[in-house]
Structure 1
């Protein structure tokens, strides 16, 4: 089963703010997440994703493209710049990143889901807070 990571979107109170932050730093369709340590289980993350936590909920993911060494022994996690909204699921905040088993990962919104952009933001936020979307 695929292994994923979770990370708190520090300073982001909404998915839109996270999208703007990622877009501002993306180069050629990829983004770099700097972290202190390389995950020891990186080999198990082929096909995995980085799931973002906002307001104690998993709300979106980015496909993990690979890992690179950075200066000072740090690690860069290369991810797809495209954020994929997921069905919100409660998740406690934590420092750094944590592993997430594939069986515990929330589902993506699919084409059968209503177009969220047509809904008022306050309604989307409330439904998401209730883990209904």
Structure 2
């Protein structure tokens, strides 16, 4: 599908894809319809492109490890009266090839051609590598 763009975001506090999934299963991390969401201060200017098939790629411990399809963007008004964006996500976490990413704040746009590929069906059942090992392999280009 052409014409879409992805987001990339640090999953602060996550130790692994599993701990990200556990957090998203908590009620506090869900929208009113029970879907996982991530609330952010800024509203993406490229909303239309994101909603044409984009995903959010999660950086866990300095390494992209998975992605989730972005379903919609919801307006959330905080107790402080400030408008925020809730990025509502498909609950399925899709494991990807690993790719190193330096720390950054907020989220960034990620072109599809710069996004790591999903793991092949043969690798989806692989045991998770320790984060340090996954980062070392990504650093030398082994995915």
Give unmatched runs, 5+ long, in structure 2: none
**Alignment check: 8 A CA contact 1:29 1:81 kept:** no
TM-score between both structures, scaled by the size of structure 1: 0.86
Report the CA distance between 1:91 and its aligned residue. 1.1
Give unmatched runs, 5+ long, in structure 1: none
Q: Over residues 87-112 of structure 1, what are the superposed CA-to-partner deviations in whole Å (9 max), with x where a residue is unaligned?
A: 00111121111110110000001213
Q: Which residue of 2 aligns with 1:63?
A: 69
TM-score between both structures, scaled by the size of structure 2: 0.81
Q: Which residue of 2 aligns with 1:21?
A: 23
**Alignment check: 8 A CA contact 1:63 1:79 kept:** yes
Point out the structure with the larger helix share.
Answer: 1
Q: Which residue of 2 aligns with 1:82?
A: 92
> Structure 1: how far apart are the matches of 2:25 and 2:120?
22
Structure 2 residue 36 is the aligned partner of structure 1 residue 31: yes
Deviates more, 1:71-80 or 1:27-36: 27-36
> Structure 2: how far apart are the matches of 1:105 and 1:114?
18
| Two-structure CA RMSD over aligned residues (Å) | 1.8
Q: Which residue of 2 aligns with 1:111?
A: 121
For these two proteins, the number of residue pairs brought into alignment is 128
> Structure 2: how far apart are the matches of 1:98 and 1:65?
17
**Alignment check: 8 A CA contact 2:95 2:124 kept:** no
